[in-house]
Amino acid sequence: MLSPEMLLGQRYRLRERIAVGGMGEVWRAEDTVLERTVAVKAMLPSLLSEPGFTQRFTAEAKTVAALTHPHIVNVHDFGNADLPSGETTAYLVMEFVEGKSLADLIAERGRIDARELMPIIAATAEALHHAHVHGVIHRDIKPGNILVRDRDGRAVLTDFGIARSGASGDLTQTGAVMGTASYIAPEQAEGTGVLPASDMYSLGVVAFHGL
């Protein structure tokens, strides 16, 4: 779909693919206007024609852009771009976090010392509290969505792609099971409804996994 040196939105020069997920790809890119490194999340073109995917992607941009917090990834821009293949992709431009995900750290070490892990968990809890106060439930808390900066060890919560906002509750209805099976709360697995406490349950599972 995407390739190095491709220019999205006549502004963002793709440099390196850093992740691939169910909705699309994440790239390290250069903002050619502000001359800074950013992360670009691009939706798979094949999903654009499916009901709900474009709406969810757009909602992610609006959801995260409205959440200003030191432990939540910053959103800079959003748009659509035509690709050389003739397809169209929607993209989200975020701050680039120089570091690794908590999943990467667990995979490398097997376990994380509690003195290092607990500040990461506490910071993520603060981020979730901020999101919950603003009516947003993340719904997919897992080690892969918690980034840890190399520079200072600060945790940054990312990937609100399946988040539910009180202002747009129709995006994910009761009965729809979304999230990562190993970490979701019982009520989320049953599809009976998701609460802020569901995020906190998932965070507890993350802590257990890390230890």
C-alpha span between 166 and 136 (Å, rounded): 6
Residues across the chain: 211
The string of DSSP codes covering 9-64 is: TTTEEEEEEEEE-SSEEEEEEEETTTTEEEEEEEE-GGGTTSTTHHHHHHHHHHHH
140 in catalytic set: yes
C-alpha span between 120 and 106 (Å, rounded): 13
Helix or strand holding residue 189 (H, E):
helix 186-190
Could you tell me the two tokens for 187? 């009520």
Determine the residue type at 45. Answer: P
Those residues with Cβ within 8 angstroms of residue 13's Cβ, 6 or more apart along the chain or in another chain = 5, 6, 7, 29, 30, 32
Catalytic residue among 140, 150, 159, 199: 140
Could you tell me the two tokens for 50? 């499916």
Which residues participate in catalysis according to the annotation? Answer: 140
